[in-house]
Amino acid sequence: MTINRSKSTLFLIEQLIVVAVFAICAVACIRIISTAYLYSRDSRDVGFAIIAAENLAESFKATPDNFDRAQISIYYDKDWQIVTHANSSYVALFDINNITEYPTHRLIEGNINVKRVTGDELISFNVAAISNTGQGD
């Protein structure tokens, strides 16, 4: 009876070691999967942020006279659809940095910044456009 008890104790210890190794591997796999999910989400958000920023930049470059010194904000929901501020997850901001007047035109410089409403910046860059002032024609 002592030999059977010794064998069963050894078997129990072996099973506990196997369960412990499995648990450690499971924790490592969960960590890897969650990190991959976060990278995937960030990558998706940056892709949509680039599109939102490009749209805002192209609008500015097409009609620079329609952009005054005020800040322009466009809000997006979690699926990157335009919404009101109250339901937003992301915001694209446009600010005029400088307006330089020349005799025949003016140079308007601004900054576009797309970020999460929590404050995490996704993309930011400067833009410039030349506007005809109508003088010197």
Residue 54 placed within a domain: yes
pLDDT value of position 133: 66
Distance of CA 29 to the CA centre of its chain: 25
pLDDT value of position 132: 79
Copy the structure tokens of residue 41. Answer: 């989400």
Copy the structure tokens of residue 103. Answer: 């005799």
| Count of the separate structural domains present in the chain | 1
Residue 44 placed within a domain: yes
Query: What is the span of the domain harbouring residue 38?
Result: 2-132
User: What distances in angstroms separate CA 65 from CA 3, 93, 112, one per listed residue?
Assistant: 93, 17, 17
- Tens digits of pLDDT across the chain (137 residues): 556 667 788 888 999 999 999 999 999 999 999 999 999 989 999 999 999 999 999 988 888 777 766 688 999 999 999 998 888 999 999 998 888 888 888 888 999 999 999 989 999 999 998 887 655 44
Residue 126 placed within a domain: yes
pTM > 0.85: yes or no: no
Neighbour order of strands in the sheet with 121-132: 82-83, 72-76, 90-101, 105-116, 121-132
pLDDT value of position 9: 86
Residue 122 placed within a domain: yes
Rounded-to-5 percentages of helix, strand, coil across the chain: 50, 30, 20
Residue 95 placed within a domain: yes
Residue 9 placed within a domain: yes
pLDDT value of position 68: 66
CA pair distance 54, 24, nearest whole angstrom: 45
pLDDT value of position 80: 93
